Structure 1
Amino acid sequence: MTLVLLDLDGTLMDSAPGITTSVAHAFRTLGLPAPDDRALRSFVGPPITTSFPAHGVPPERLAEAIRVYREDFAATGMWDATVFAGVPAQLARLREAGCALVVATSKPEVFAVPIVERFGLAPLVDGVFGAPLDEQGTKADVIARALATLDRRAGDGPLLDGPVLMVGDREHDVVGAREHGIDCLGVRWGYAADGELEAAGAVAVVDDVADLAARALSLLGLGA
C-alpha cells in the first residue's frame, strides 16, 4: 500500500477564520490584549496548548484560556472554515492512483472527525487521526498512532509495505514526519511563514492545489 498522510488545517481546509476568531475571543474574555492578525494566524496548526503561552497567556490562566477557546470553537468556530478549492479532485486522483489517504492533524480528534464529515471529505479519506482533547504530545505522536492503527487493520499481512508521504503546511508537519523516517511535501497555500517549510526540511513544496496529486505521486515513485 502507498500511504499519504494529510494535515487538515492549512492543507485541506482554510480553517483560519474560525480558529483566529475563537482565539481572539479567549484573549478578550480573559482581559488580555489579543495578538495582531499575523500572530493570530500562527495559531493555526500547532497545538493550542503551546500557542497560548507563546503569545502571553500566563501559566496560571492557561486552563481558563483553553476552556474559553474550546467553548467558542465548538459552538461556532469549527464550522467557520472552507475546503480549499480543488482539494477534493486532488484527493480523488490520489485514490485513483492506488493511495490510501489518512488525515493526521494536531487538532483534537473530537473536532477533526466531525469537521471532515461536515465538509464532505470523509468519503475521500480512509481515516482521521488527531490529538487527544488535552492536546498533549506532538505531530509525531499523531502519526505514530495512525501508522500503528493501520498496521493493526492489516490482519495477517502487512498493510504499510509501501512508500509513505506526509503532506502539510507547517514545520511541525515536517518534523513529525521525519521522526518516523517519512518525507514531507509542503504546501504553499497554508499558514507557514516565508521559508518555514524549506528550513524545516520539506522534501519539496508545491505552490498550487492543482499540482498536489502530481507532485505527491512523483515523490512516491508513481509517476505524475
Structure 2
Amino acid sequence: MPYVSVQPADVADDRPVILFDLDGTVLDSAPGIVAAQQQALRDVGFEPPDEAELLSDLGPPPAVIFARIGLPEELITPAVEAYRRHYLGRGIRNAALFPGVAELLDLLRPHYRLATATMKLITTAIPFLQHHGVAGRFEVIGGAQDGVVDKPAIIKATRIALGEPPAEKMIMVGDRHSDISGGRAEGLRTIAVSWGYGSRDELLASDPDVIIDRPDELPAAAERLLAEVRG
C-alpha cells in the first residue's frame, strides 16, 4: 500500500492522530468527479446517468461505480482510464477546499499528528492536495493504489506509516459510511462530517462516535473522544 510522508514521520511523537478522508471532507471535488465520470462513459459509448444519480454514490473507486450503473465488464477498464485522464487534467481545477478546513488544519497541527486515509489513488491525492495548498499540513498522505478498494486496509497502511500509534489515540474523520466503518474496523474513534456527500441518515446508520456540522466543531469533538479514552 503506497503512502507519502510529506515530512519525515516521527515515530516517537506521542501526540494523538487524526486521519482525514479527502473527497467530501477536506475537498469539495464532486463537480470534477461527476464531469469526469460522465465524459469517460461517453468516451466508451455509454450514455451516462444524470448528475444527481452519480452524486448519490460518490466515494467508491470509478470501477465500482461504473459496474453499479451497468457498464459492460469489457468497457470498465477503458472507462476507468478515460476517467483518470479527464479527472487529473481538469478535475483538479474543478474542486475547492471546504470553507474553514484550511484554518482547521492549522489549528489542529500543534496538538495532533495529521494524515489522510483516502480511497483516492495516491497518484491523484498528492497533486490535488499540492494544488490546493494543504499537502504540507499532513505528516503522511495515505491513499489507494490500483485494485485496492478496502478502506480499512488504507487506514491500516497509514497507521503503519505513522509508526503504529495506539488505535485508541487515533480518530478517523469522514463523510461516508465507509470512512466510519473503516475506522471502527481498525479500532479508531470516528467523527462523521455532515458537510460532505453522505446523507445524515447514512451517517447515523454507520454509527459514528460523533457527527459534526462545521469544521470548527472538530477540535472540541476530538478532545471529548480522547478524554473518554483517558477515562
| TM-score normalised to structure 2 length | 0.87
**In structure 2, what is the equivalent of residue 191 of structure 1?**
197
Structure 2 gaps of 5+ residues are 1-14
Matched AA of 2:136: P
Contact kept? 1:143, 1:177, Cα under 8 Å = yes
**In structure 2, what is the equivalent of residue 203 of structure 1?**
209
C-alpha distance in structure 1 between counterparts of 2:42 and 2:199, whole Å: 26
**In structure 2, what is the equivalent of residue 115 of structure 1?**
128
Matched AA of 1:36: D
**In structure 2, what is the equivalent of residue 147 of structure 1?**
159
Distance 1:41 1:135, change over 3 A: farther
SS at match of 1:130: strand
Matched AA of 1:82: A
Matches within 5 A, 1:174-185: 174-185=180-191
Matched AA of 2:207: G
- Structure 1 residue ranges (4+ consecutive) displaced by more than 3 angstroms after TM superposition: 158-162
- In the TM superposition, residue 55 of structure 1 has moved relative to its aligned partner by 1.2
C-alpha distance in structure 2 between counterparts of 1:86 and 1:135, whole Å: 33
How many pairs does the alignment contain? 215
SS at match of 2:143: strand
1:162-206 Cα offsets, whole Å, 9 max, x none, are 611000000110111111111221000000024101101111110
**In structure 1, what is the equivalent of residue 118 of structure 2?**
105
- Identify which range, 6-15 or 198-207, moves more after superposition: 198-207
SS at match of 1:22: helix
Matched AA of 2:98: F
SS at match of 1:76: helix
- Identify which range, 173-182 or 103-112, moves more after superposition: 173-182
The alignment yields a C-alpha RMSD, in angstroms, of 1.8
Matched AA of 1:30: V
Contact kept? 1:9, 1:45, Cα under 8 Å = yes
**In structure 2, what is the equivalent of residue 38 of structure 1?**
52
**In structure 2, what is the equivalent of residue 93 of structure 1?**
107
- In the TM superposition, residue 137 of structure 1 has moved relative to its aligned partner by 3.3
Distance 1:135 1:73, change over 3 A: farther
**In structure 1, what is the equivalent of residue 17 of structure 2?**
3
Contact kept? 2:180, 2:206, Cα under 8 Å = yes
Contact kept? 1:3, 1:160, Cα under 8 Å = no
Contact kept? 1:150, 1:160, Cα under 8 Å = no
Structure 1 gaps of 5+ residues are 152-157
Matched AA of 2:144: A
Contact kept? 1:19, 1:43, Cα under 8 Å = no
